[in-house]
A and B are shown apart, each in its own frame.
Chain A
Amino acid sequence: MNGSLPNLRILDLTQGIAGPFCTKLLADYGAEVIKVEPPGQGDPSRRAGPFPGGAPHLERSGLFLHLNTNKLGITLDPATSAGAALCRELVHRADMVVESFHPGTLEALGLGYAALRQLQPALVLLSITDFGQTGPYRDYKGSELVLQALGGPMYSRGLPDREPLKYADNVGQMLAGLTAAVAALGAIFLARYGGIGQWVDVSIAEAILGSVERGATGYQYTGEIARRLGNQAAGTYLMGAYQCKDGYIGVQGGGRGESWWPRVYAMIGMPELAADPRFSTPEAREANRGELDALWYSWLLDHTREEVFAAGRAARYPLAPVNTPADLVSDAHNQARGFFVEMDHPEAGRLLYPGAPFRLSAVPWLARRPAPLLGQHNEEVYGGLLGLTREKLAALRQAEVV
């Protein structure tokens, strides 16, 4: 078997980040993903960086290269009638269509769910949009920052006297893409083994809100709004990032989990504190927080990231160094597990990519092919899959349909 998802063909009409990440996850594990891009310019993420040497090039965008591994790439303009007809031919041969157009776009092209299910009753159509197919914000414009503001825990992240702070980079859209992949396979299950197709509506804002913001329910519990408290929120003491001798470490533990504290004291070389009345109960720790802080911070500043990490491992206490992207690549554990994989791309060259998000014992994650060049697999798909002649394909190219 050629991966974990044999016999699964996906027509991928998505662009940007969330949709392509969803289909990447499936392609990397063996689904046949046919990525459809507009002729000429392609997916907008081709124009996003980083680029080698900072020089923009449609085939060298780091973001695009990362998000589109293992896919076949074709070009197609579904706004032309010939393009829409080709699209229907492809849908006919696919198990699932994934799209990320603005709500209503597919319908306007005659390719909405009602039309597509006529072609293929057990078809799964998965739509990934910023705010979903319904509701007052359906036509609003999203962005990573905007989606995290509405759906994320941003309001309660950061310092009390500063502005709320988002999570890094595009992690909201990435989480939504991941969530959409779960929904996709769920729907595929029912289509494949139950014969029932359906339309799946994934809103990026909801994907973030539904899985991230467990704190949202806190208001329902207490009637209190979660505020920004900075690094050391009351009741979650020893949680967050702290400075040590040569950098920073990240910790989660302590809190009110009483079984954690003896491990903290063992880790900092003072196991006797577990029986010390100043530090042996939550109330006592709170009352003597200044003293405890002094012990903790001075121990940290006496030790390097590596030393702190090693002490945490020995004491079975959850902490780790605050790693930069460079640290991730050089990290001994990541290297031992072979997390980063090398792939050769005809335009961007040989590069190291982030690898498998999880390891399946029966079939490996596969770096079968790098991201496609724009229209790279037109002949393979239009000729091989749809049986179009060379002449017909040339005519379509001439008419800028592909």
Chain B
Amino acid sequence: MSGSAPLAGIRVLELGEGWVGPWALTLLSDLGAEVIKVEAIQHMDMTRGPVAPPPGLPTYPGKEPGPRPWDSNLSFYVANRNKLSLTLDLARPRGRELFYGLVRISDVFATNLVTGVPQKLGVDYESLRAVRPDIIVLAASGFGARGPYATHVAMGGSMDAAAGHTWLRSYADLTPDTVSASTHLDTVASVSGALALLMALYYRNETGQGQFIDLSGCEAFMPHIGEAIMDYTMNGIVRGPSGNRHPTQAPCGVYPCHGEDRWVAISISSDTEWERFCKALGDPAWCRDERFADVVGRRRHQDELDRLIAGWTRQHDHYEVMRILQGHGVPAAAVLDNREVYEDPHFVSRGFFQPVVHPDLPPIPLPGVVWKMSETPGGIHRYPPRLGEHNALVLKEILGLTAAAYRELEAEQYIGDTPLPGLVV
């Protein structure tokens, strides 16, 4: 990345695993920060998966784990581009001292280990501030750094329930235990972590002060369902799940299309859009039914309306329905599967997916930088790092260790590029 990248010169230490910590720092690396991901051959990011997985798992390219499965696991691959990988055993004093050496020359330390674990490892804010007074520390966790649930282990799926998303996103006519699991909370927490870090960096640049960021995944998400929360705090109304429907739009739903398991999403927010919709369908008689003349009627008779619309959508390909309706100015979209999304002409035209060249893996493109900047577009300039791949770069070139000291660390298994035998993820 060029020297003019927004975060050029900012160095970040990541002690993260799963999604929340790693993706937050991926976003900063996309902006040009140097992110050093710290793992250990005694304990690696859980998304690197089992050391000796059985064959045939879909998380490996071609379902082949290969000789170093921890370098090719899908979950790790999608969340860790543009980073350097360092292994270092923080549980032993020499490892911790080296880590403090890195903290001295870094701007940010970010972790999403469960509250209590960074303290045990001696990498909590108080310890690190003693090493570098203006350090910025992000501690992301499911429930935050204090409060009754602070030390509770959380993952995206459990936060989804705790923060109110699971309840609201079920099918409206079924119980919540029929809905698919979601890790959306991981996403929200991670992007929120990136924002918090940028704010803290800005504040440090303006004032010279570092600080501690307490990020609870549940709290990061709750503003995203503010509308439902406000309906409760305002009116005492506890909203239930609405499935694909909308409190004020109708029709609003997902309709079957020609072909196997093909669907189109259509939502209509005004009478004008309804008129356009009817025209796009060639004004069938049912469109003139008085019950559908305004949004109140369309909402009241949604089930019947949905059946009539499905009768039309079934005759067409999902992309064709999108083109017809959008051609008339009606919001509609093909529901894309994970093959179609990579081939969709819009995302292709914007160059959204970017090729990644990895020395050990087939070319597997990834979703690219999630914004387009005119002067500093950024991009995927490093493949997701192999475990310990940048040990020498970080310890010798950045930290200045001698070759002899480096060899000693290797011999004593402070560092390495292969997980120790028996490591269970």
User: Could you say which interface size class chain B belongs to?
Assistant: 35 or more
Q: Quick check: is A384 within 8 A (CB to CB) of the other chain? A: no
Q: Quick check: is B161 within 8 A (CB to CB) of the other chain? A: yes
Could you pull out 5 A-B pairs where Cβ atoms are within 8 angstroms?
Answer: A179-B370, A189-B198, A217-B365, A217-B366, A363-B203
Within the complex, what minimum Cβ distance (angstroms) separates B288 from chain A?
23
Is the Cβ of B58 less than 8 Å from the Cβ of A221? Answer: yes
Question: Assuming the A-B contacts A143-B267, A164-B263, A200-B371, are A282 and B54 also in contact, with contact meaning beta carbons closer than 8 angstroms in the complex?
Answer: yes
**In this complex, what residue of A is CB-closest to B237?**
A50
Is the Cβ of A248 less than 8 Å from the Cβ of B225? Answer: no
**In this complex, what residue of B is CB-closest to A349?**
B234
**In this complex, what residue of A is CB-closest to B49?**
A256
Q: Quick check: is A135 within 8 A (CB to CB) of the other chain? A: yes
Question: Assuming the A-B contacts A144-B267, A221-B59, A320-B159, are A62 and B199 also in contact, with contact meaning beta carbons closer than 8 angstroms in the complex?
Answer: no
CB within 8 A of A225: which of B143, B210, B332, B337?
B337
Q: Quick check: is A388 within 8 A (CB to CB) of the other chain? A: no
Within the complex, what minimum Cβ distance (angstroms) separates A143 from chain B?
4
> Which chain A residues in 155-211 approach chain B with CB under 8 Å?
155-159, 162-171, 174-175, 178-183, 185-190, 192-194, 196-203, 205-207, 209-211
Pairs of residues from A and B, 8 with the lowest C-beta to C-beta distance, nearest first: A250-B161, A252-B157, A62-B230, A210-B370, A320-B162, A168-B168, A149-B265, A252-B155
Is the Cβ of B155 less than 8 Å from the Cβ of A253? Answer: yes
Contacts of A258 in B (CB 8 A): 50, 424-425
Is the Cβ of A186 less than 8 Å from the Cβ of B342? Answer: no
**In this complex, what residue of A is CB-closest to B378?**
A186
**In this complex, what residue of B is CB-closest to A169?**
B225
CB within 8 A of A137: which of B60, B144, B220, B346?
B346
Is the Cβ of A143 less than 8 Å from the Cβ of B158? Answer: no
The segment from A71-79, A83-91, A236-244, A393-401 that touches chain B is A236-244
CB within 8 A of A252: which of B183, B201, B335?
B183
Is the Cβ of B4 less than 8 Å from the Cβ of A196? Answer: yes
Is the Cβ of A147 less than 8 Å from the Cβ of B158? Answer: no
> Which chain B residues in 239-283 approach chain A with CB under 8 Å?
239, 241-244, 246-249, 252-256, 261, 263-267, 269, 273
Is the Cβ of A48 less than 8 Å from the Cβ of B198? Answer: no
Within the complex, what minimum Cβ distance (angstroms) separates B360 from chain A?
14
**In this complex, what residue of A is CB-closest to B244?**
A166
Contacts of A253 in B (CB 8 A): 155, 157-158
Contacts of B74 in A (CB 8 A): 214, 217-218, 221
CB within 8 A of B247: which of A6, A49, A320?
A49
Q: Quick check: is A118 within 8 A (CB to CB) of the other chain? A: no
Is the Cβ of B230 less than 8 Å from the Cβ of A63? Answer: yes
Is the Cβ of A185 less than 8 Å from the Cβ of B198? Answer: yes
Q: Quick check: is A230 within 8 A (CB to CB) of the other chain? A: yes
Is the Cβ of B267 less than 8 Å from the Cβ of A146? Answer: yes
Contacts of B206 in A (CB 8 A): 1, 6-7
Is the Cβ of B227 less than 8 Å from the Cβ of A155? Answer: no
Q: Quick check: is A362 within 8 A (CB to CB) of the other chain? A: yes
Is the Cβ of A214 less than 8 Å from the Cβ of B161? Answer: no
Is the Cβ of B232 less than 8 Å from the Cβ of A326? Answer: yes
Interchain CA distance A210-B244 in the complex, whole Å = 22
Q: Quick check: is B41 within 8 A (CB to CB) of the other chain? A: no
The segment from A35-43, A268-276, A351-359, A372-380 that touches chain B is A351-359
Interchain CA distance A67-B175 in the complex, whole Å = 30
Is the Cβ of B234 less than 8 Å from the Cβ of A62? Answer: yes
Is the Cβ of A135 less than 8 Å from the Cβ of B346? Answer: yes
> Which chain B residues in 168-198 approach chain A with CB under 8 Å?
168-171, 174-184, 187-188, 190-196, 198
Is the Cβ of B326 less than 8 Å from the Cβ of A231? Answer: no
Interface string of A136-159 (1 = CB under 8 A from B): 110011111111111101111111
Within the complex, what minimum Cβ distance (angstroms) separates A98 from chain B?
13
Q: Quick check: is A131 within 8 A (CB to CB) of the other chain? A: yes
> Which chain A residues in 220-263 approach chain B with CB under 8 Å?
220-222, 224-231, 233, 235-236, 239-243, 248-253, 256-259
Is the Cβ of B178 less than 8 Å from the Cβ of A193? Answer: no
Within the complex, what minimum Cβ distance (angstroms) separates A108 from chain B?
18
**In this complex, what residue of A is CB-closest to B329?**
A141
Q: Quick check: is B92 within 8 A (CB to CB) of the other chain? A: no
Given A132-B372, A143-B249, A225-B339; 7 other pairs, CB 8 A cutoff: A145-B246, A154-B254, A202-B371, A210-B352, A241-B170, A312-B152, A333-B148
Is the Cβ of A182 less than 8 Å from the Cβ of B166? Answer: no
Is the Cβ of A252 less than 8 Å from the Cβ of B181? Answer: yes
Contacts of B235 in A (CB 8 A): 50, 52-54
Q: Quick check: is B396 within 8 A (CB to CB) of the other chain? A: no
Contacts of A207 in B (CB 8 A): 370-371
Interface string of A300-332 (1 = CB under 8 A from B): 000000000000110011111111111111001
